[in-house]
Structure 1
């Protein structure tokens, strides 16, 4: 199939988002469930006027609430460094069976100064489990960037599964050089020890190495990726039994046409989703 750069760039897609892109509800529900008991204990602080004394008592009697405190501020870390009045103060929220009075006061000070206890005292929060559920939803949105990459991999894998099944060939995902050697008994070149190809297909003695990505927006990363894959392609092509395929898409490439066109002229096999739909990958793998 004769292709030119315009065939590639003019058919980039706006989005590959599915309904599960926005929030991973299973993760949110699971993470909330893990801290439900300490959250319910902390619920007893809501509306208490003598909240400092009550909080000290709770930490003393129910130390399991301590690791939850940073999480209620949307912080995953158990060690927090605060710059206070030109002094660095380290607060620790590690899980312990018992805390000293000094440690308890340290935790209370942090919770008061961050405003967390005041929110509870003033009943701005009605139920900490519901409140924390919202925190998990918010934190989960930070994973959307990674989900876009996963969506592209999942989309490509749908085509791979069908193609490999129909043609009785094998593929593996997240393929390191060691995994390829173990699964396929073949060695492949790699530019760095940490390289993990999205997919590797074995057809006879030939190994087809596939990288995928999708870019909604522009940025310097696109230019860097194009340069990286040109170098990787040249390395892989030195071996007559290996072939490189780069499957990329997204309107972000419209802001980085020049790097992509340079890569298109250097790399034999750059595809987008439309190419997958038109059977170009199968032509490369089966007909190559």
Structure 2
């Protein structure tokens, strides 16, 4: 499709959100994470209100060393994380999956980090509920990834409405070498002569044309948007040198208002740059 489009008019149709009902908190994931340490948490509950919490903690740790696994989440860290503490005397690199310090030093961590105070002064009713709240807070960091997956799901639903079938003529999260094998095309121009391994969100084939598809959504601004626009402009130019291959980009989000200069540059060279409004208006029927 070669008709001229107005960039500013197109930009004005960017949507503010694609959040669905489960966007804000992935509760099944929260419950799953908490249940994995339910027993250590319940053992640690015996410390609530303790007047001799250090000695009681050391006794618990001796009897039930698995309680260490419940400690990182109390300070909003993951079990696999190394918790670094810069002390005036030396640096500490605490591990909780596989202990690397003495029980006394772990007790120091609990005391100096404020966890003992939290427990001994009974500032929480029980650790299971407390950790559930911490997990909810930490899960908000996953919203950006959920937005990306939601955009993928939106594009996939429209592709499937057009009759594309997953595994037949529609492929998701597929690497460049797999595309080359499936469709007998050479994508080395896109992948720096094979020195990089590019993964595409979707690949479809209609008649003799292979369409390489990327999707994303940006509700807020940042340098990532400019980097993405520049990168996709380059892929656009590179794809033009490959016979029977087209690059398609579905993006949306009002974050683009803050990065419209770079987006405009890509818009001017990439004829297949669309948003959700385009999908709703049947752009796939025109494209494919």
Cα deviation for residue 169 of structure 1 reads 6.6
For 1:89, which of 92, 98, 113 is the aligned residue? 92
Using the alignment, how far apart are the partners of 2:170 and 2:235 within structure 1? 20
Segments of 5+ residues of structure 1 without an aligned counterpart are none
Counterpart in the other structure of 1:74? 76
Greater shift after overlay, 38-47 or 250-259? 250-259
For 1:231, which of 225, 228, 234 is the aligned residue? 234
Given that residues 191 and 235 in structure 1 are in contact (C-alpha distance below 8 angstroms), is that contact kept between their aligned partners in structure 2? no
Using the alignment, how far apart are the partners of 2:251 and 2:24 within structure 1? 22
Closer, same or farther in 2 for the Cα pair 1:78/1:248, shift >3 Å? closer
What aligned pairs does 1:153-168 form with structure 2 within 5 A after superposition? 153-165=152-164
For 1:51, which of 47, 50, 53 is the aligned residue? 53
Using the alignment, how far apart are the partners of 1:152 and 1:235 within structure 2? 25
Counterpart in the other structure of 1:176? 175
| SS of the residue 1:21 aligns to | coil
What aligned pairs does 1:122-161 form with structure 2 within 5 A after superposition? 122-161=121-160
Using the alignment, how far apart are the partners of 1:146 and 1:42 within structure 2? 33
| SS of the residue 1:90 aligns to | strand
Closer, same or farther in 2 for the Cα pair 1:141/1:277, shift >3 Å? same
Given that residues 152 and 212 in structure 1 are in contact (C-alpha distance below 8 angstroms), is that contact kept between their aligned partners in structure 2? yes
What aligned pairs does 1:207-218 form with structure 2 within 5 A after superposition? 207-218=210-221
Given that residues 79 and 94 in structure 1 are in contact (C-alpha distance below 8 angstroms), is that contact kept between their aligned partners in structure 2? no
Cα deviation for residue 237 of structure 1 reads 1.5
Deviations 1:228-277 (A, max 9, x none): 11100111121111100111111111122221111111112111111111
TM-score normalised to structure 2 length: 0.91
Given that residues 164 and 170 in structure 2 are in contact (C-alpha distance below 8 angstroms), is that contact kept between their aligned partners in structure 1? no
Given that residues 81 and 89 in structure 1 are in contact (C-alpha distance below 8 angstroms), is that contact kept between their aligned partners in structure 2? yes
Deviations 1:13-40 (A, max 9, x none): 1111111100001100111110000000
Cα deviation for residue 86 of structure 1 reads 5.2
Given that residues 169 and 203 in structure 1 are in contact (C-alpha distance below 8 angstroms), is that contact kept between their aligned partners in structure 2? no
Using the alignment, how far apart are the partners of 1:71 and 1:24 within structure 2? 17
Using the alignment, how far apart are the partners of 2:181 and 2:120 within structure 1? 59
TM-score normalised to structure 1 length: 0.91
Segments of 5+ residues of structure 2 without an aligned counterpart are none
| SS of the residue 1:199 aligns to | strand
Closer, same or farther in 2 for the Cα pair 1:183/1:63, shift >3 Å? farther
Using the alignment, how far apart are the partners of 1:37 and 1:115 within structure 2? 22
Using the alignment, how far apart are the partners of 1:78 and 1:198 within structure 2? 30
How many residue pairs get matched?
280
